[in-house]
Amino acid sequence: MRAYVAGVSLWGPGLPGWAGSRAVLAGETPYVPADIAPPVPDILSSNERRRTGVAVRLALVVAQQAMEMAEFPPGSIAGVFGCSNGDGVVVHAILETLAEPGRQVSPTQFHNSVHNAAAGYWTIATRSSKEAVTVTGQDATFAASLLKAMAGLHVERQPILLCVYDTPIPAPMAEKRPTLAPFAACLVLTPEPCERTMARIVVTYEAISTAAEEATQLPSLLSLALGNPAARALPLLECLARRQPGTIRARLRHGAVAIDVRPWR
């Protein structure tokens, strides 16, 4: 399945957006991990901003930035949102409440705890009637989300937004599902090249694969790439930043998703 990348964004420790991260991903500037809070997405109303947590804001920021880069109005295309953990902070708070007398769970906390919260806030903020689905697959969430987005694009022949994001979970759940740091990445994919096209990707699903999952080209980013399910997107982002052809693989259960990347201009 073939697609063209018209927009890209990311946010993570020491990686403040595409413009601020491209040189690092290309190996031109040393990577210096640092906690950098993402900006509050201005597509949210002030009321919705108060309700959302870090996970939702992180997803919406990269989605908005990628759409702006592709020069598409926010909410004008369908979206696939991939997340392994959901909003662990909210789930932790609900579990603490349920362990106390009264068990008065906040309605806001409850609707933020569902796995498709970010997709829901995106459609509300952008007033979009386009499809927005949420995918999860533990460490294979990026691969599963990419495959879902590519299948939708292949069938519908319409642009699609792919957003993957994950944030750390508080203890004690963190012992079962450690996540290094907040990270999110987003791509705007089109079925045909356009003025904003930066690369072409060809995605192939390998039901059974003996090939190893592609590791990041930069040793300094390896711990992040392995420590956050959404950061499995880093090898693809590095290829886009380096503007060099290459083929990478992302593990998906017993198989893999092979991604052939070719710069467009």
Residues 194-205: pLDDT tens digits?
A: 999 999 999 999
SS (H, E, C) the chain: CEEEEEEEEEEECCEEHHHHHHHHHCCCCCCCCCCCCCCCCCCCCHHHHHHCCHHHHHHHHHHHHHHHHHCCCCCCCEEEEECCCCCHHHHHHHHHHHCCCCCCCCHHHHHHHCCCHHHHHHHHHHCCCCCEEEECCHHHHHHHHHHHHHHHHHHHCCCEEEEEEECCCCCCHHHCCCCCCCEEEEEEEECCCCCCCCEEEEEEEECCCCCCCCCCCCHHHHHHHHHCHHHHHHHHHHHHHHCCCEEEEEEECCEEEEEEEEECC
Q: Judge whether residue 207 has pLDDT over 80.
A: yes
Q: Judge whether residue 110 has pLDDT over 90.
A: no
CATH no. for residue 98?
Answer: 3.40.47.10
Q: Judge whether residue 215 has pLDDT over 90.
A: no
pLDDT top residue among 120 and 46: 120
Q: Report the percent of the chain where pLDDT is more than 90.
A: 67
- pLDDT of the residue at 104: 78
pLDDT band at 127 (very low <50, low <70, confident <90, very high): very high
- pLDDT of the residue at 93: 79
Rounded to an integer, the average pLDDT of 48-58 is 84
Number of folded domains in the chain?
A: 1
Q: Judge whether residue 102 has pLDDT over 80.
A: no
- pLDDT of the residue at 159: 97
- pLDDT of the residue at 217: 84
pLDDT tens string 162-180: 999 999 998 888 888 889 8
How does 115-153 read in b/e, with b if 16+ C-beta sit within 10 Å? bbbbbbbbbebbebeeebebbbbeebbbbbbbbbbbebb
Instruction: Name residue, tokens 């903020």.
Output: 125
* Residue 128 near residue 76 (C-beta atoms within 8 A): yes
Q: Judge whether residue 78 has pLDDT over 90.
A: yes
Which candidate, 83, 157, 93, 168, places its Cα nearest to that of 120? 83
Work out the number of other CB atoms within 10 angstroms of the CB of residue 214: 22
Domain containing 136 equals: 2-263
Which candidate, 57, 111, 53, places its Cα nearest to that of 87? 53
- pLDDT of the residue at 50: 75
The token duo for 219 is: 């040793």
pLDDT top residue among 244 and 82: 82
- pLDDT of the residue at 10: 97
- pLDDT of the residue at 176: 86
